[in-house]
């Protein structure tokens, strides 16, 4: 009798010890995810989270004013005309030059050219030049940049073919992240034209004649 009683006691103790071990292991398994989630896992999420990375990059772009996403636009607009006082006429004639190559030059404070951007005039003689974003923060852009007619089509009887005069800019509008600078009217002289003062019609004193 005592033998069976001793066996039962030993089995009960063994089972109790085994249950304690199982409960302890189960408890450890339950605690493992929370421990890893509060440790280096959070740091790893912070490092590889694209949303965090993206917001940081956007903040840097906002501070700089330009970057991967274009936040502002700076345009230079103008019109190129050919002007003539033809023989036998008393009024000045002017018509747009299509296909003229116009260049915007921007200079540093030491008059060194830092960039240039080009565009061709359309059928109405108009041009629109979108300046690169690295120029958007340049102070007094209207004083740092100027426009020049670089080349006109060969079939255009306007002179000179290579204009040396630089045309100034005026800030014409600001709004919705867009700044627009307007060049003075660029008027070239027709090869067969008489002196402009010979025409008593529309005066040329207020015109920008590029020589």
Give me the tens of pLDDT residue by residue for the chain, a chain 211 residues long.
Answer: 554 455 556 566 667 767 777 777 777 777 655 544 444 544 554 344 443 444 454 444 444 444 444 568 999 999 999 888 777 667 778 889 999 999 998 887 666 667 789 999 999 999 999 998 877 877 788 888 889 898 888 888 787 544 557 788 999 999 888 999 999 888 887 777 766 666 766 544 334 444 4
- 69 Cβ partners below 8 Å, 6+ apart? 58, 61
Helix axes 40-48 and 2-38, enclosed angle (nearest 10): 30
The SS3 call for residue 129 is strand
**All structural domains of the chain with their residue ranges:** 2-48, 73-198
Topology (CATH level 3) of domain 73-198 = Protocatechuate 3,4-Dioxygenase, subunit A (2.60.130)
- Residue with the two structure tokens 């990059």: 57
Measured distance CA(211)–CA(205) in Å, rounded: 15
DSSP string computed for 12-65: HHHHHHHHHHHHHHHHHHHHHHHHHHHTHHHHHHHHH-HHHHHHHHHHHHHHHS
């Amino acid at each position: 009798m005592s033998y069976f009683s001793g066996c039962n006691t030993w089995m009960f103790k063994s089972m109790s010890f085994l249950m304690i071990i199982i409960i302890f292991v189960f408890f450890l398994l339950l605690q493992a995810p929370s421990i890893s989630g509060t440790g280096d896992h959070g740091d790893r999420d912070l490092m590889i989270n694209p949303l965090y990375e993206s917001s940081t990059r956007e903040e840097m772009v906002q501070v700089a004013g330009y970057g991967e996403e274009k936040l502002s636009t700076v345009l230079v607009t103008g019109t190129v005309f050919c002007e003539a006082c033809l023989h036998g006429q008393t009024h000045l004639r002017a018509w747009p030059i299509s296909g003229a190559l116009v260049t915007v030059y921007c200079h540093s404070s030491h008059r060194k050219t830092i960039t240039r951007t080009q565009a061709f005039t359309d059928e109405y003689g108009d041009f629109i030049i979108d300046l690169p974003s690295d120029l958007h923060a340049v102070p007094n852009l209207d004083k740092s940049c100027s426009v020049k007619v670089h080349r006109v089509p060969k079939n255009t009887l306007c002179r000179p073919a290579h204009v040396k005069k630089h045309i100034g800019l005026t800030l014409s509008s600001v709004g919705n992240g867009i700044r627009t600078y307007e060049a003075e009217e660029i008027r070239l002289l027709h090869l067969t034209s008489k002196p402009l003062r010979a025409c008593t019609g529309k005066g040329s004193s207020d015109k920008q004649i590029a020589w």
